[in-house]
Structures are given as structure tokens and as C-alpha cells.
Amino acid sequence: MAENQQKSEVAKREEEVLAFWDEREIFKKSIEKEALKGEYVFYDGPPFATGLPHYGHIVASVLKDVVPRYRTMQGYRVPRVWGWDCHGLPIENIVEKELGFKHKKDIRAYGIEKFNEMCRQRVLTYVHEWERIIPRIGRWADMEHAYKTMDMPFMESVWWVFKSIYDKGLVYEDYRVMHICPRCETTLSQQEVSEGYKDVKDIAVSVSFKLKNPEKIGLSGEVYLLAWTTTPWTLPGNVALAVGEGIIYRVFERDGKKYIAALDRSESLGIQDQKMGHQFMGKELVGLEYEPLFDYYVTDEHLKNRENGWKVYAADFVTADEGTGIAHEAPAFGADDWALLKKYNLPFVQHVNYDGTFKPEVKAFAGMEVKPLGEDSVRLAADIAVLKYLQEHGFLFAKQNIVHSYPHCWRCDSPLLNYATSSWFVKVEEQKVELLKNAEPINWSPEHVKSGRWGKWLEGARDWSISRQRFWASVLPIWVCETCKEKRVFGSAAELEAASGKKVTDLHKHVVDEILVPCACGGSMKRVPDVLDTWFDSGSMPYGEEHYPFENKESFEHTFPAQFIAEGQDQTRAWFYYLHLLGTSLFDKNAFQNVIVNGIVLAEDGKKMSKRLQNYPDPMEVVEKYGADALRLYLLASPVMQAENLNFSEKGVAEWKGVLTRLENVLSFYQLYRNELVHEASDESAQVLDRWIVARLRQTQAEVTSAMEAYNLTAATRPFAALVDDLSTWYLRRSRDRIKGDDEADKKAALATTLYVLREVSKLIAPFAPFVADYIWQALKETGDVESVHLAHWPSAPSARFLSKLFGGAADQNIEHMTLARGFVTQALEAREKAGIKVRQPLSLLTIPADSNLPEEYFTIVAEEVNVKRVESKGETVALDTNLTDELREEGVVRDAIREIQSFRKERGLKPGEHATYKGEFSDVQRKVIEKNLDLIQKATTTTIEL
């Protein structure tokens, strides 16, 4: 909190409520109380504790708090054990930065054990801050017994998951082109790659490859094939050119040289006006040989399949939509290129190291990084160097700057490379039918995510690369014999202990890599060096949290799948997906039944929230200023709960604080008069206002419950503002005189109804605004009540039949009639304003349409609100008689005098019945009227008037 910002009264009161919960262990009691409906399982995606919670965490925490609170009040037991995500690149990058490391080799030199232990120490840096902030926003979670993905029980369950799907034949090793991060030196999955696309400037080049045998197609002299690429750095690895069999190519001349390119690319290449030559179909070019641009590999006699290199091949992925219609093929750096290599047994040339640097044999560029992180001048340095080489050797035909979408590392922001390497995969495509079948019953909020973002990702999902070449993570529990290559997969620490004869107390890389397992052949088995993608940890969360199947086997199997999960929309491709994939792989089940997907909180101007720009208020400062309840209600009622973006506005939080203040004012007014008359909470009053506010309460109960059952938190939250407004600015304002008055029966009915409504509102709003809910409950708690509103039962709206019997008509008629009456009031007040007559000046008559069917019991309410003597139902429109008689004018003066004296008393803090003297300045007309009505005015105000 800023030093100059005072903590608000509402924030202080919330902290008192929080202290009450802690002292009385209310959360613990809510878990331990009788749950007639059984267990409601909620999976909570564990966050990293490497930074403080931001608005994204708060949004997720609020919605993850509302649903469990609601289900608890409905009679379920809802365990809420917190978890910490501990593994992976986020913490590795932090430690690397702290140690000043630039490359993976720095970690090896430092020592993997020391590095991993430092990760273990640093990963929970901000835990204590989280343990302070999360409860302060009203979220209940068992943070004391939090599971950690780095703890051995969790990691052992991950091993069990891996072995289970391995034994089902769903895991395999393959060599293929994948995205890697050259700085982190690891492969990435399809989902990880999808997170990091950015528009960047790159250089596209058209390069001329000289044909060795142009006579094969009836040409002579210097003939060149024009190929196009946006990755000049891959050109030293070129081993083939590809054409489309059905594409028409033509020859054109420039500077005495002949070039071949697709006919449809003539204009874009600027050659449409050049001298025309022969035309060929792509299939006629197949088999032509050309001279390599670089001689680093063509002379290597040991290069496998060298005889198939540097020729033209047909490929169905080649089009004439861009470039030259001829593709440069470097199979080590492209999936299509790799497929061509496999099909035609092309030579494999990989001229770039795994760390993204040119290999020593690429003499002109040896050691250069091909795509380093940095400004354009740095990032494009290798491309520019290759460009200069091509220009100097006469191979560069054209170049252009382009802007296109390019993938970057989701953690370190480095440009990624397509790179042929070995990886372990989980079969996804083979399970596609089961994945789609199991996804069908899942309920999504908002609904469009199901067939949209989630459904489309699921349909297009490919096999999952699960191995990473890093250090701080769960490991691949695969041991391979160095002699016979036999593999053995372990699913528990006990299995490894039995096979190796070594005690296993930690399952991290630096420990298990030292454990050798004897092989039946007499050799020794050693673990494969890779670790698991940390999303494998995340997808294994349901099992790791329970240490399944080593503990809690029966209870887990009874409650799987979870009834509810929630996260941001980016998790449709991540956590939601991996949970579903592993649930299907293990049990052929969906892992969850209901999902809420939230959007992103942006700064008020629509830009990304930035600490550097300071374009958003600190969340905890907002809590200290407006209270956590107001922040919660603002977020819950906003589009962010419907997977849409929210431009955060303090004004919106302030508006919800105003709603809660009005609710508290109702409570304060009730407490002033609570002890004047013995009464109990009741919803059975026949008085029209009482019937109406109870009907509005019932209506809101039904709306909120229906929306909560549909997991639509926005629709569940918004009705509160209207209910509180009706309770405060209409019901209570219209009932003040009843509560202050001498009619004991009417006063008792108003007090009993107000008490009933406040108690029910306290329960209804409890999951959404837990602090104010318990504040109201504690103020109104009676003998026999539960200790906290959060231990109470959810209010159930009565049936229509009951309401009809109770009110002598359908409940919605009370609402309809009151809405009609308020509409007439609005029209009448507009007529007053138009006539320039203030509301305090009485008028004689208001007429309302004869066909309105408004019951006469509402006429008094309308008359008092509009300040008219009577209301009549006649005619076709609302009409106000604005003629002022002397009697009406005199009554207006008396009312003004009473109002002025009451304001005087209020300013001086005088209590009702406490005598005072008032000396005011009045006009002659006012003086005469006041003298005439002096006894009436003095009695009404308990004030002596000196004229």
C-alpha cells in the first residue's frame, strides 16, 4: 500500500472478519461439517511462487473461491488443497539470470546438482506473500498443507502416469523436425510454440542455383533455378530443390543468364517484361542437378545418400502462391523438407548446432548465432552475413524485407528454430476419436469455448513431444542398457530400489542419473538424459496431489473426474488439454465435468498491464481502498468471467463499493430500531411493500441459483446490484415512516421483513462477497444460528405454488405491479420537473391509465412518492394536476419549514425527542403560514421556533 494512502474503514472491517475466520477456524469447519450431498471435487492449477500475484491470479482465485463456497453451502464437502508449481524453465531462467549464465553449458560447468538445489531454494521465494494476499482477497484454500510438484510423492505419481501410458503403447521415441529454443537448448511442444508467435521483420531472398545439366530440358549456357526462402541462414544446409509437378514454369533472361521460375510469380519477381523463353511443367524439371551454393558438405565422401543430393524433386507442398514457385530444401530445419528427405533418401546435413550456432565446417559463418535474441540488427546478423556471401558470389537474385508471424520461446523470448532432433512423444492422433468422445459431455462457460478455442485445438492436436533437454523437472523414468539397448520403465521409487539395490529418496535428475540398473544381458542400464515437459506434471496434477495410486486409491477413484476446474483462456491449449489427454490415456475418461474460462485483465486504456508503464493500480492498494468484496464483485460481474478481456477501471470497483455501502446502510438503519419492538425474521407480511421485497428476494435467489448451476458467474453476480438498490432506495425509503411510526403492527411487519431479507441476502451474497456477508450475519445472528454465514445452507427459492399461496397470487405479480407503480412515479416526477414544481410542494391529483390494472393498494405508494393528495385510475395516459390552491401552497410552506428544521437538528447531532430552539429567517409569506401552524411544526420537530 502506498505510504500516503490511508486504509479504508471497509478494509479494516474486512480484516476483522478475516481474523474472526482464523480464530474460529471457519474454513476448517466448513470442510469438516456434515456433507449430505457428498464430495464435490475441484482441481486447482498450481501457480508459480516466483513472483507476486497479479490481476490474472486474482481473477482466477476469485472464481475458484465462489464456486466451492456455493457448493459447500449447498451441502457438499469441497476440499481445497493449494498447490505450488515448482519445475521447469520459469525457475531455471530465474536462477540462470541470478548466476549470470548465458548458455546451457554454463549450467553443466557449474554442476547440475548445485543448479537444481538452487532452483529448489528459489522456487518458493514469494510463498509468504501469496499466503498473505490470497486469504486477504477472501479466498479459502488449505495453503498450510499445499502439495508441491517437486516433492517426491507428487513426482512418484508422475512416474506412475508415464509408465501406465507407456505400457499401453502410447509413448514412443522418434527423430523429426521440431521447434527448439537455441538459448534454452530444448525442444518445445505444439502448445508451447503456439504461445510465442510475434510479428517480426525478416529478409526474404530469391537465390539462383546453377543447373549442371540444362541440356536435359533443351537449354544451354548458364541456366539457373530461382528458389525463395525467408530463412537465409538455412541455405548452407540445402540438399535439394522442390517443384510442384502441376505448376507451369518458364524461362526468362536477364544480363545474359537464363532463370527458371513459376509463371504465376512473374509479376512479383518483376520479370513479366523480360524476354520470354521456354515453358515447362514442374514434372519436366524433376531429376535436374544443380551446383550447391556452398561446398561444405557436397565433397564429404562419408555423407550418407550423397548421390541423391542437390537435385530437383517434386513435392505436393510447393505452390506458386508466394516466392518463386521453387522451394529450397534443408531437411534438418523444416517438417516438409524432412518428409521429402524420408521419401527420397536425401542426404542429411545439419550445419547448425543445438545451441543455434553455425558449426565449425561452415567456415564463412562458424560460431555465429543464426537467430539470437535482440534488436533487428542482432537478430538478423547471420541472415545478412549469408546475404553478403550470396551477393559476392553472384547467387543473390533479389531480396525484400517482410513482416511475418514467427515463433519465440514462451519463457526467454528467443526466436525458435525448426530443428531435426530426437524426442519422446505421447500418441495423440491415435487417440483422437476417444479424446473427442470424452470431450463431448464437458460443460463450458462460456459455451462457445467448447466448439471454438477448445474444440478446434483438440481436433488439430498432434502427437505431444514430452521430453526436454533441461535439468529441474520430473525425469523420463526410462533406463536403457548400454550394451543390448534393452529399455526398462519404472513407475515408482520402490521399483527402482528393487532393481538397483539403491535407496531412492529423491527423483530429480541429479540424483537418479547416478543410479545404474543391472541388465539381464550382464550390461548396465543408465537413465536417458531427458526430463519431462512440465505440462506432464500439470496434466498429472489430479494423481500427484493425492499420491495416487500409492495412497488414497479408493477415494480418488470414487471422485474422479472432478466436477469443476477453472483457468484463463490460454489453458484451453495447455492445462485443460493435458488433463483431458492424460485422463483419456489412463482411464478413457474426461478429467473434469465443468469448466469456467476467464479472459485477460488489461489496463484501462486497453493496453497490457505494465509495471514499467505503471498503467494500473496495485491490486492490494485497490483492496485497501475499496475492500476485497468490491473488487471481487467488480471482476465477477465483468466480461472477464466470460473469457473476454476487461479494461480494468477503479471506477467500476468504486461503483460496487457503493452497492455494498447501500446494503450496509440498510443494516445500520435496521439496527437503530431493532430493539424498539420484539420481532422475528418473517416473510409472511401481507403489506404490499413487504410482499414486493420478498418477491424480489425470491426472484434474485432463483436468478443467482440458476446462473450458478450453469457456472455463469457474471449472470449470477449482476442481480445483486438491482436487489440492493430496490431494498435501499425503494423498500427501506418507503418503509422508514412505518418503522419510525406508532402503528405497532405495521412497524413489526416492516422490521420482521427487513430482518428476514437482510439475513437471506447475507446467505445469498456469501460466496461472492464473503466479508460483508459475514459482517451482516454476525450483526443479526440469533440463538441457534450457525457460527458463520459460510456454515449456513444455501437459500432455496420456494415453489411457484407456495408463493401463490403466500401472496394470494403469483409472486411475479407483486414485482409487475410495483414496477408499474414506479413507472407512474417516474412519469409524474418528470411532469413536475417540466412544470417547475418541486416534489415537496403538494399537488391535488395524479391520474393513471384506466386499463393499467394497478391494484388500489399501490395508489398510496404512488401518491406519497409524487406528493399528491390522491391517485385516480381513469383516462388513457398519466396526467398530473399542477394547479396550486392556497391550501396546497400553505401545506408546501409547512413541509419546507419542517424539512429545514430537521436539517438544522441533524447538523447539530440532536437525537429524536431531544429539545432544541431554532431561529430562522423567513419571508413574510412564510412567517404568516408558520405562525398559523406553529404548534403543528413544533410538535413534529420537538423544536421551539423563535420568529
Considering only the C-alpha atoms of the chain, give the largest distance between any 2 of them, rounded to a whole number of Å. Answer: 125
The three-point CA angle 790-791-793 to 5° equals 95
- For residues 759 and 681, the answer to whether their CB atoms sit within 8 Å is yes
The torsion defined by the Cα of 342, 346, 352 and 355, in degrees rounded to 10, comes to: 20
Q: How many CB atoms lie within 10 A of CB 77?
A: 18
Res. 945 pLDDT band, cuts 50 70 90: confident
What is the rounded CA–CA span in Å between residue 465 and residue 372? Answer: 24
Catalytic residue (one of 160, 535, 777, 794)? 535
Q: Which pTM was predicted?
A: 0.84
**575 is a catalytic site residue:** yes
**Peptide bond before 446: cis, by omega within 30 degrees of 0?**
yes
Structure confidence at residue 129 (pLDDT): 92
Structure confidence at residue 734 (pLDDT): 85
The torsion defined by the Cα of 883, 887, 890 and 896, in degrees rounded to 10, comes to: -60
Element housing 617 (H / E): none
**535 is a catalytic site residue:** yes
Structure confidence at residue 304 (pLDDT): 94
Res. 5 pLDDT band, cuts 50 70 90: low
Query: Which of 607, 611, 579 minimizes the C-alpha distance to 595?
Result: 579
**pLDDT tens for residues 273-314?**
556 678 899 999 999 999 999 999 999 989 999 999 999 999
**pLDDT tens for residues 666-700?**
999 999 999 889 899 999 898 889 999 999 999 99
What is the rounded CA–CA span in Å between residue 298 and residue 801? Answer: 89
Read off the pLDDT of each residue in 324-353 and give the average, rounded to a whole number.
94
| Strands laid side by side in the 843-848 sheet | 868-873, 843-848, 879-880
What is the rounded CA–CA span in Å between residue 309 and residue 296? Answer: 13
Catalytic residue (one of 191, 571, 642, 701)? 571
- For residues 536 and 578, the answer to whether their CB atoms sit within 8 Å is yes
**159 is a catalytic site residue:** no
Q: Give the least confident one: 61-70, 193-202, 255-264, 933-942.
A: 933-942
Q: Is the pLDDT of residue 768 over 90?
A: yes
**What percent of the chain lies above the pLDDT cut of 70?**
97
Structure confidence at residue 1 (pLDDT): 43
**608 is a catalytic site residue:** yes
3-state secondary structure of 564: strand
What is the rounded CA–CA span in Å between residue 155 and residue 933? Answer: 87
Structure confidence at residue 798 (pLDDT): 56
Average pLDDT, the chain: 90
Structure confidence at residue 807 (pLDDT): 46
| Partners of 518 in beta bridges | 524
**pLDDT tens for residues 550-579?**
999 999 999 999 999 999 998 999 999 999
What is the rounded CA–CA span in Å between residue 750 and residue 736? Answer: 9
Structure confidence at residue 811 (pLDDT): 56
| 31 backbone φψ class: left, alpha, beta (φ>0; ψ -120 to 50) | alpha
Top pLDDT among 110 and 4 is at: 110
Read off the pLDDT of each residue in 792-799 and give the average, rounded to a whole number.
78
**97 is a catalytic site residue:** no
3-state secondary structure of 881: coil
**pLDDT tens for residues 387-409?**
999 999 999 999 999 898 999 98
**pLDDT tens for residues 627-668?**
999 999 999 999 999 999 999 899 999 999 999 999 999 999
**pLDDT tens for residues 905-922?**
888 888 877 888 888 777
DSSP code, position 147: E
Structure confidence at residue 806 (pLDDT): 45
Res. 622 pLDDT band, cuts 50 70 90: very high
C-alpha distance from residue 128 to each of 51, 117, 134 (Å):
11, 20, 10
Res. 3 pLDDT band, cuts 50 70 90: very low
3-state secondary structure of 826: helix
**85 is a catalytic site residue:** yes
**What percent of the chain lies above the pLDDT cut of 90?**
67
Catalytic residue (one of 44, 65, 85, 726)? 85
3-state secondary structure of 138: coil
Read off the pLDDT of each residue in 854-872 and give the average, rounded to a whole number.
85
Q: Is the pLDDT of residue 925 over 80?
A: no
**pLDDT tens for residues 589-613?**
999 999 999 999 988 888 887 666 6
Catalytic residue (one of 608, 740, 834, 932)? 608
The owner of cell 401463490 is 804
Top pLDDT among 4 and 789 is at: 789
Structure confidence at residue 552 (pLDDT): 95
**pLDDT tens for residues 358-373?**
999 999 999 999 999 8
What is the rounded CA–CA span in Å between residue 667 and residue 676? Answer: 15
- For residues 703 and 715, the answer to whether their CB atoms sit within 8 Å is yes
- For residues 60 and 568, the answer to whether their CB atoms sit within 8 Å is yes
Backbone angles phi, psi at 140, to 5 degrees: -100, 125
Read off the pLDDT of each residue in 91-110 and give the average, rounded to a whole number.
92
The owner of cell 492436436 is 461
What is the rounded CA–CA span in Å between residue 362 and residue 232? Answer: 14
Catalytic residue (one of 82, 130, 140, 575)? 575
Structure confidence at residue 767 (pLDDT): 97
What is the rounded CA–CA span in Å between residue 648 and residue 605? Answer: 8
Q: Is the pLDDT of residue 240 over 70?
A: yes
Cell of 193: 510454440
The torsion defined by the Cα of 28, 34, 39 and 43, in degrees rounded to 10, comes to: -10
Q: Is the pLDDT of residue 795 over 70?
A: yes
**153 is a catalytic site residue:** no
Structure confidence at residue 913 (pLDDT): 78
Q: Give the least confident one: 124-138, 516-530, 832-846.
A: 832-846
Structure confidence at residue 797 (pLDDT): 60
Q: Is the pLDDT of residue 705 over 60?
A: yes
